[in-house]
Amino acid sequence: MPSDRSDRALSTIGPSGQPLTLEDLPPPDTVRWVIRRKAELVAAIGGGLLSLEDACERYQLSEEELQSWANSIAKHGIRGLRSTKQQLYRKSRAEKVRGSLIHPMTRDLPLSSGE
């Protein structure tokens, strides 16, 4: 159930630095989440314009998905929201973990022989 809106902000600052209101947010039936829309929704939640619960219900998104968007912005900036960048950042993180477990001289060798 959506939370009481009486304690919600009427506007907040959006990712572009401009005021952001509920009317500026993507429509509830949004399917294609481009960087700008993701950033606006994260800013709206962070600025108190919309609660996490309300955003999940309104957009049919999971808390985990929204949290991953917020984490990407915090770690990599708005560009981190690009789906191709997500894959690169995940790969980079996995290589760092894997690289710390493998001797540097053998890092480029396959992990299993496979043949």
Closest CA to 5 of 57, 62, 69, 40: 57
Residue ranges of domains in the chain, CATH in brackets: 8-106 (1.10.10.10)
Question: What per-residue confidence (pLDDT) applies to 84?
Answer: 62
Is the pTM of the predicted complex or chain greater than 0.75? no
Most confident of 2-6, 17-21, 86-90, 104-108: 17-21
The DSSP call for residue 105 is: G
Strands (E), 1-115: 12-13, 19-20
Which one is predicted more confidently, 51 or 88? 51
Q: Give me 67's structure tokens.
A: 């949290």
Question: What per-residue confidence (pLDDT) applies to 60?
Answer: 96
